Each structure stands twice: as C-alpha cells, then as structure tokens.
Amino acid sequence: MESLDFHTARALLEWQIELGADECIGDAPVDRYALPDKLVKPNKPDIKPHLTKGPVKMDAPDPVAEAQSAAQGATTLDELRLAMEAFERCDLKRGARNMVFSDGIAGAPVMIIGEAPNRDEDRAGKPFVGDTGVLLDRMFAAIDMGRERADAPLYIANVIPWRPNSGRDPKPDEIAMIKPFLLRHIELAAPKVLVLMGNGACQALLAKVGVSRLRGEWTQVAGLPAMPMLHPASLLRNTDAKKEAWADLLEIKAAVEK
C-alpha cells in the first residue's frame, strides 16, 4: 500500500470525523459474525464446599420475626410500649415526632383501632385528636361510651404507631413488621369487642379493603368479634354516611351489653 503524506492523511481523517467517527478501533476491520475455528469448552464451576476461616456472614434478620419475638416478650402494656420504642427496624420511627401508642382506659370492653397517626396525632402523641377525634368522641358519647369514662370506657390504638412521611399510606412491609405488636396489643388490652376504623385497620387485620362494603357486618379478629366502621375522617367528608355509622354504633353497644 502506497504511504500517504501528512496532508493527505489529515484530509482523510477530517473526512472520517465529518462522517461521525469519534474513535479509532483498529487498523483492520473485524467480522463480528464469523465463527471461531474451534469452540472452547467452558470450565465447570467448582461446586465443592470450601472451608473458610473467620466468621461467616449471616443473612440480615427478618424484621417480622424480630418484631414477633419482641412483642411476645412483653407481658404488660407498659412493656409492650417499651418494646415498640426500642424497635429500630421500622424507618417510619425516624421521621415521626412521637410514637402514638394508645389512649383511653386499658381493659375497656371496646378497643378502637385506627389506621396511622395524622399530623395532629403525631404532634400530640395520641390517637384520634383534632377534628376526627372530636367526631369520634361525639359518636361514642351518643351510645354512652368515652375514652375517659370509668363506667363505659374506650381504649384506642392505631395499626401503625408512627406517622408515615407526608401522611402517605403505610407500605405492606411496614404493616407486616408492626402487626405482631398490634396483635400482642390486642391480646394484652383484652377487650370484649374490636372496632376497625377505616381501610387501614381492615387491610392490616382482615387482609381486605373496601370498608364501605365491609362495615355493618361482624367478623373475627384474634378470636374477638370485630366491627369494621367508616373512619371519622371519611364521615367528615361524607356526612350522608353518618346514618350508617349510627347503625354500627348501635350494634357495638348491643354486643357490649350482652
């Protein structure tokens, strides 16, 4: 091949650049579709066990199993609260101001279970405060019950004790790791009747959603009769549904008085 002078070589290079070439691959073209003359047989992987020195790296512990162990170790509600405060596997804890454990009187015949704390509940450290709390108190006062009434008390808790960021719904894995604490909470509180307020409580304890369809019908949770109800926040938006809520309240009152 005749050698090129500098100027010719430069002109050819500039022409290639104008065509879009941006790097030099090789001096000769390569046929990427050509088959090799001889196929190389891959080596079989060594599947024999190897003994290693030093500690063996274990898989991360299951947060649900960890929660189950911590919850079962609590023999009183105070111990359960401490166990939940010490539980570090739920990231919701880091973004919340307070842990919302419960309100009302432990041992009450009716235990209300809400969804997750809203902004007001997160600030107060109590479930059902603000407008939803006012409506809840009025609803149960209408059947002669209240969270501070010694003669007909209520006990109130949430599925999730920490407020999710920006008020979003809890994720399934977050509900799963907190559920052992919730079931132990129910067991230690020992109510006669459970009230599942809203879709969050129904999803966590019944694995069902659609509280508008579920409400008004008794079901079972942890061996106890449970009544799904529309959440007070929903009743504030849809006042026409208060008639249905009243019917559910009468059912609850009748069940307690049996």
For residue 42, what pLDDT is reported? 59
For residue 146, what pLDDT is reported? 97
Ordered mean pLDDT values, 10 residues apiece, the chain (258 residues):
67 70 65 58 58 57 93 98 95 94 97 96 96 97 96 97 91 95 98 97 95 96 97 94 96 95
Reported pTM = 0.76
Cα separation, 97 vs 229, whole angstroms: 28
The DSSP letter of residue 84 is H
> Among 65, 85, 66, 69, which residue's Cα sits nearest to residue 77?
85
For residue 28, what pLDDT is reported? 66
In the chain, what are the domains? 63-256 (3.40.470.10)
C-alpha dist (Å) from residue 47 to 43, 50, 52, 220: 12, 9, 15, 51
For residue 167, what pLDDT is reported? 83
Cα separation, 252 vs 258, whole angstroms: 10
For residue 36, what pLDDT is reported? 59
Residue 179 is inside which H or E element, if any? helix 172-189
